[in-house]
Chains A and B, each alone.
Chain A
Amino acid sequence: MDKISIIIDGKKVSVPPDTTILEAARKTQINIPTLCYHPDQNVKGNCRVCIVEIAGANGFAAACCTTVKEGMEIKTNTIRIREARQMVLNLILANHNSQCLSCKRNGNCELQTLSQELNIEEEFLDKVVDLLPIDQSNFSIVRDQTKCIKCGRCIEVCNDVQGVGAIYNVNRSCDMKIAPAYEKGLSEVPCVYCGQCINVCPVGAIYEKEDTKEVWRALEDPNKHVVVQIAPAVRVVLGEEFGMETGSIVTGKIVSFLKRIGFDKVFDTNFTADLTIIEEGNELLHRIKSGGKLPMLTSCSPGWIRYIEFFYPELLQHLSTCKSPQQMFGALVKSYYAEKMGLKPEDIVVVSIMPCTAKKTEAKREEMHLNDYYDVDIVITTRELAKMVRESRIQLRELEEEDFDVPLGLSTGAAAVFGATGGVMEAALRTVYEVVTGDELDKIDFKNLRGIAGFKEATIPVGDLDVNVAVANGLKNAKILLDLIKEGKANYHFIEIMCCPGGCIGGGGQPIPATNSIKEKRIEAIYQVDLQSELRKSHQNPAIKELYEEFLIEPLGEKSHKLLHTHYIDRSKNNKDKRD
């Protein structure tokens, strides 16, 4: 198609048809301010911050949603337009609780940055912020509507990307707000706590329930033995919070930091990721051999678990009974490790550092509550870890790298890839192939299962059997597979599902922003960790072998059943969380 010629701020530019003014401007290094615009979402056009002047037009045009026309003459930086943008922003600020200093997003807030960039010198309109209660009804996510600027990004991610629909526009005009039905708390509606809404929120209207104080308290409690685990997707992302390049691998620095602040042992969730592969791999083989429910669905993503419990309870039998690596870790620390160390399980505090807000609620599930203690006591997100680093005043960049403690800190590259979509499947295939055939797998990189695409599938010959697998991330993609299963049309043996787009590297507890281009770099780093590992197959992990020899005896055995496997709940009838 012929290009279209336009003039932006006196500069002649040629762009393809259907280009928006915003895109055309950015191509010419003219940076029109935006607020509701998000690169991975539909254009909304509702904040009106990106207005520009078009010669001959009456009013302004929003650059994000106006496509260029031949000969269009656009001005983006006149007194009139700057003052108009200031006015628009003032209208937003008048309805925004601007207590920035104590805001979760202080220093990383799109509205704050914009106010600075547009040179807001005075909030001259009356404050009209409604004093609405803060929703702290659950263990994962907090909503503070006094901060909400009604951009609608959270609604899009919740409805169109995740297909959950926990929140929507309520009321209209200046009474419009974003809330669950009947403005209930999130714990009373089918929210899966994935936290994707947090990741797209430009301000501090939605954030994780913070648990760092509990961690600090445990660390200073002389009667407690405090153990920490780090999820695979945390180590490739934390650096972003400290100005490091996206995709920086900071595993050793995190270990070093955690030791410095007083954890008794610094272990790795990757250890139980390897263990998950052994248990889940054997479960799959068992189901195939014994005619069990297929396809088998992975169970390590707690947002996904809540989703199927709420929306497809009739398919719960398809879920692997394996607990997630986080929970397996907690269960082992309070049994195997406690025994080994001669500690009482009730004296141990297990802290998890996760990329995920749903993990906070997972840890509080009743099934994860054996005897009188939880498998995992405190869960914090990557963002909270960054806060602890800042609070401690330790300079992460300057820390020497250290190794995890043994034995629960040993892991393989197969565990590392759990952090990206397709990783669990790849890790499982590496092991299942060798366990079944007894041959060594030559090509261990399953590249067609990698990458950010929402749905991937493959057929892998394993001995006599062609194993059909599928990988989905984002719950709307999961839904497509679930509908196929319901209709009996899903001809797969094994399906990996990750709740969050891109997998755990895009989790709801990760640093913000988390756009697709950032996620792709995080994924690259995940596979770097795999490549740099000495061992890259879970069944080769010597600490796992030792665990079976000393304690578990065999996969799917009695102890495994008690400690490492779980069951699920039909939540379709009663949305409410069970809380103690």
Chain B
Amino acid sequence: MDLENNTMEAIEKIGNTPDKLIEVLIQCQSLNQQNYITEEQLNLISKGLNIPLSKAYGVASFYSMLSTSKKGKYVIQVCNSGPCYVNNSKTIAKAFQDALGISLGEVTADGLFSLEYTSCFGGCQIAPAVKINDMVYGNLTEEKVWQLVDSLRKEAV
């Protein structure tokens, strides 16, 4: 119910014209611990902004920062664009998979982490870099990856 109220509040605050759809989707996703937009939320947004649900879903599925399926509390995004690639981002992706015990595109069983590739987010200066929710971590090595996962696990407890 909280999610419903918060969603309505977000629509009211941002505005209910169709052009605000993306802003509303971003905000509504952030309301959710699992970093995704629930079907119930999307229905509210579709009604609130007076656009078909199919379009709201279509737009949500178009943008890679938006998700309509559950993700982890920490969404780990490993950059796989050119600059990070030449600084060994594949090794980093592998290290995350090993440290978390999941493959790219998956969520850990405890719902804490999801792991995915992402396009460049401008962390090239500190490549290889990853983005975890709003934070960017760079100059990563395999060892640092394990430390990072450890500290996030502790932070979550």
Q: Touching in the complex, A and B, CB below 8 A?
A: yes
- Cβ of B50 to closest chain A Cβ, rounded Å: 11
Q: Within the assembled complex, what's the spacing in Å between the Cα atoms of A165 and B55?
A: 7
User: Are the CB atoms of B57 and A182 closer together than 8 Å?
Assistant: yes
A182 and B52 contact, Cβ closer than 8 Å, known pairs A168-B58, A171-B61 = no
CB contacts (< 8 Å) of A179 on chain B: these are 54
Chain B residue nearest to A572 in the complex (CB): B47
Q: Taking CB as reference atom, which chain B residue is nearest A172?
A: B62
Q: Are A165 and B62 in contact (CB under 8 A)?
A: no
B58 and A169: CB pair below 8 A? yes
Question: How many angstroms between the C-alpha atoms of A165 and B54 in the bound complex?
Answer: 6
Give residues 525-550 of A contacting B (CB, 8 Å).
Answer: none
Chain A CB within 8 A of B31 CB: no
Q: Which residues of B contact A182 (CB under 8 A)?
A: 39, 57, 68
In-complex Cβ contact of B57 among A159, A164, A170, A172 (8 A): A170
**Within the assembled complex, what's the spacing in Å between the Cα atoms of A425 and B5?**
47
- Bound-state CA distance A169–B54 (Å) is 8
B62:A189 contact, CB within 8 angstroms: no
Contacts of B57 in A (CB 8 A): 168, 170, 181-182
The secondary structure that dominates the B interface is helix
Query: How far does the Cβ of B24 sit from chain A's closest Cβ, in whole Å?
Result: 16
Q: Report Cα–Cα, A172/B61, bound state, in Å.
A: 8
Is the beta-carbon distance between B61 and A189 smaller than 8 angstroms? no
A422 at interface, CB cutoff 8 A: no
- Complex Cα distance, B154 from A88, in Å, reads 53
Closest Cβ neighbor of A164 among chain B residues:
B52
In the assembled complex, the Cα of A94 lies from the Cα of B52 at a distance in Å of 32
Q: Could you say which residues of chain A place their CB within 8 Å of the CB of B51?
A: 165
* Given A182-B39, A182-B68, A167 contacting B54 (CB threshold 8 A): yes
Convert B42-67 into 0s and 1s, putting 1 for each residue whose CB lies closer than 8 angstroms to a CB of A.
10000000011111111001100000
Alpha-carbon distance A181/B54, docked complex (angstroms):
4
The one of A166, A169, A172, A181 in contact with B56, judged by C-beta atoms closer than 8 angstroms, is A181
A window 200-251: CB within 8 A of B: none
Chain A hits for B42, CB < 8 A: 181
Q: Given the known A-B contacts A182-B57, A182-B68, are A168 and B39 also in contact in the complex, defined by CB atoms under 8 Å? A: no
Question: In the complex, what residue of chain A is closest to B68 when comparing beta carbons?
Answer: A182
Inter-chain CA distance A159–B56, complex, in Å, is: 13
Given contacts A181-B42, A182-B39, A182-B68, contact A166 B61 (CB under 8 A): no
Return chain B residues, CB-CB under 8 Å to A167.
54
Q: How far is the CB of A156 from chain B (nearest CB, A)?
A: 13
Chain B 15-57 residues near chain A, CB threshold 8 A:
39, 42, 51-57
Give the contact-size bracket for chain B.
10 to 19
A171 to B55, CA, bound (A): 11
A181 to B62, CA, bound (A): 12
A349 and B151 CA atoms in complex are apart in Å by: 72
**Contacts of A159 on B, CB cut-off 8 Å?**
52, 55
Does A180 touch B at the CB level, under 8 Å? yes
- The range of chain A's interface size is 10 to 19
Q: How far is the CA of A170 from the CA of B60 in the complex (A)?
A: 8
Q: Tell me, in angstroms, the Cα distance from A182 to B58 when the chains sit together.
A: 9
B58 and A170 contact, CB distance less than 8 A? yes
Nearest opposing residue in chain A for B55, CB measure: A168
Most B-side CB within 10 Å, residue of A159, A164, A167, A168: A168
Nearest chain B CB to A378 CB, angstrom units? 31
Cβ of B39: which chain A residues have Cβ within 8 Å of it?
182
Instruction: Give A180 to B39 CA distance when docked, in angstroms.
Output: 13
Contacts of B58 in A (CB 8 A): 168-170, 181
The distance from the CB of A173 to the nearest CB of chain B, in whole angstroms, is 10
Nearest-Cβ distance from residue B97 to partner chain A, whole angstroms = 22
Once bound together, how far apart are the Cα atoms of A446 and B42, in whole Å? 47
* C-alpha spacing A61/B6, complex, angstroms: 48
Q: How far is the CA of A167 from the CA of B58 in the complex (A)?
A: 9
Encode B82-111 as 1/0 by CB contact (under 8 A) with A. Answer: 000000000000000000000000000000
A169 lies within 8 A of B53 (CB)? no
Least CB distance, A579 to chain B, in whole angstroms = 21
User: From residue A283, how far is it (CB to closest CB) to chain B in Å?
Assistant: 33
Bound CA–CA A181/B58 (angstroms): 7
A180 CA to B52 CA in the complex, in Å? 10
Q: Which residues of A contact B62 (CB under 8 A)?
A: 169, 171-172
B residues in contact with A165, CB < 8 Å: 51-55
List the B side residues contacting A166 at CB < 8 Å: 52, 54
CA distance A312 to B58 in the complex (A): 24
- For B64, the closest partner residue in chain A by CB is A172
Closest to B52 in A: A165
With A181-B42, A182-B39, A182-B68 in contact, is A170–B61 under 8 Å at CB?
A: yes
Q: Give every chain A residue within 8 A of B68 (Cβ-Cβ).
A: 182
From residue A313, how far is it (CB to closest CB) to chain B in Å? Answer: 14
How would residues 157 to 194 of chain A score, 1 for a CB under 8 Å from any chain B CB and 0 otherwise?
00100001111111110000001111000000100000
Complex Cα gap A179–B53 (Å): 11
A430 to B57, CA, bound (A): 48
CA distance A191 to B56 in the complex (A): 16
Shortest Cβ distance from A352 into chain B, in angstroms? 30
Interchain nearest-CB distance for B49 vs A (Å): 12
A159, A170, A172 pick with most chain B CB within 10 angstroms: A170
Q: Which of A159, A170, A181 has the most CB of B within 10 A?
A: A181
A209 to chain B minimum Cβ distance, whole angstroms, is 21
Tell me the smallest distance from the CB of B39 to a CB of chain A, in Å.
Answer: 7
- A171 to B61 CA separation, bound complex (whole angstroms): 5
Given A171-B61, A182-B68: A189 touches B53 (CB 8 Å cut-off):
yes
Report A-chain residues with C-beta under 8 Å of the C-beta of B53. 165, 181, 189
Q: Mark A128-142, 1 if CB is under 8 A from B, else 0.
A: 000000000000000
CA distance A180 to B53 in the complex (A): 8
Inter-subunit contact B54/A180 (CB<8 Å): yes
New contact pairs (6) apart from A164-B52, A181-B42, CB-CB < 8 Å: A159-B52, A165-B51, A165-B52, A166-B54, A181-B56, A189-B53
Closest 6 CB pairs of A and B: A165-B52, A181-B57, A168-B58, A168-B54, A181-B53, A181-B54
What residues of chain A have their CB less than 8 Å away from a CB belonging to chain B?
Answer: 159, 164-172, 179-182, 189
Task: List 11 A-B pairs, Cβ < 8 Å.
Answer: A159-B55, A165-B52, A166-B54, A168-B54, A168-B55, A169-B58, A172-B62, A179-B54, A181-B53, A181-B56, A182-B57
